[in-house]
Amino acid sequence: GENVEQHPSTLSVQEGDSAVIKCTYSDSASNYFPWYKQELGKRPQLIIDIRSNVGEKKDQRIAVTLNKTAKHFSLHITETQPEDSAVYFCAASQPFSSGSARQLTFGSGTQLTVLP
Amino acid sequence: EAQVTQNPRYLITVTGKKLTVTCSQNMNHEYMSWYRQDPGLGLRQIYYSMNVEVTDKGDVPEGYKVSRKEKRNFPLILESPSPNQTSLYFCASSLRLAGYQETQYFGPGTRLLVL
């Protein structure tokens, strides 16, 4: 099955700096890569996702890049703010049309702390 | 309001006492899933369902059961809970678009403590 590794596990940045979180995946059939943000005591919420036919996607201060050859994808947050402090999870999913398990496999999470 | 609901939100029980955590969504989603979240391990899938009467095991199915008799509901059943099932549980649902996973919407979570 799919294996997703996420680094770093903790990340502290100064307000206004950029933060980068990296993930690698093992299954070349995976074609959907979402990122979720989970604030303390709350449910995970999708912040951005990328599909395998795209190399980069941006939404205001958040961007995700995908390198299918190397099987890794990254989350970039620019001009960080204290409210960006949360746990961030990457995930990878195989297409539903495949015969194998159709599920999201999550990374272990990154605790991002933005220091004022 | 489009949402995924779970009940109960908090539960303390004892080893061996059967329990059910309910999950319901009002978005007409085909796909529903259960995850458990443990520190340092991220979210691990327990079971998922592609549609009514179609369920399959995720990564950590041992000790759990599910059913999908109606499209909107996907209960998680612990027939004989054990302390290692103490965890935070999330239900999630999504549309099922051909060829791609679709955005999963998570419920608020159920914190379970098994003594």
Closest approach of B31 to chain A, Cα-based (Å)? 10
Burial of B69 per CB tally in 10 Å (0-12, 13-18, 19+): exposed
Which pLDDT belongs to residue B40?
84
Determine whether the interchain pair A109/B42 forms a contact, defined as Cβ–Cβ distance below 8 Å. yes
Would the pLDDT of B95 be above 90?
no
The residues of chain A scoring below 50 in pLDDT are: 100-101
Would you state the pLDDT for residue B76?
Answer: 98
Task: Tell me the chain A residues in contact with residue B96 when contact means C-beta distances shorter than 8 Å.
Answer: 96
- Measured in angstroms, the CA of B59 and the nearest CA of chain A are apart by 9
Going from the C-alpha of A27 to that of each of A92, A107, B1, B69, the distances in angstroms are 9, 14, 36, 32
Instruction: Report the largest interatomic distance among the alpha carbons of chain A, rounded to a whole angstrom.
Output: 48
Strands A19-25 and B10-13: unpaired
Predicted pLDDT at A102: 62
pLDDT (0 to 100) of residue B59: 86
Q: pLDDT tens digits, residue range B39-69?
A: 888 899 999 998 899 898 888 999 999 999 9
Please report, for residues A69, A98, B5, B10, B41, the alpha-carbon distance to residue B29 in angstroms, rounded to integers and kept in the order given.
33, 20, 13, 25, 27
Determine contact, residues A25/A35, Cβ cutoff 8 Å.
no
Instruction: Using pLDDT thresholds of 50, 70 and 90, give the confidence band for residue B12.
Output: very high
Confidence of residue B96 (pLDDT cuts 50, 70, 90): confident
Q: For residue A34, give the chain B residue with the closest CA.
A: B103
Let me know: does A2 contact A102? Beta carbons within 8 Å: no
Q: How would you write A39-64 as a 3-class SS string? A: CCCCCCEEEEEEECCCCEEEECCEEE
Q: Which two tokens stand for residue B14?
A: 């004892």
pLDDT of residue A112: 98
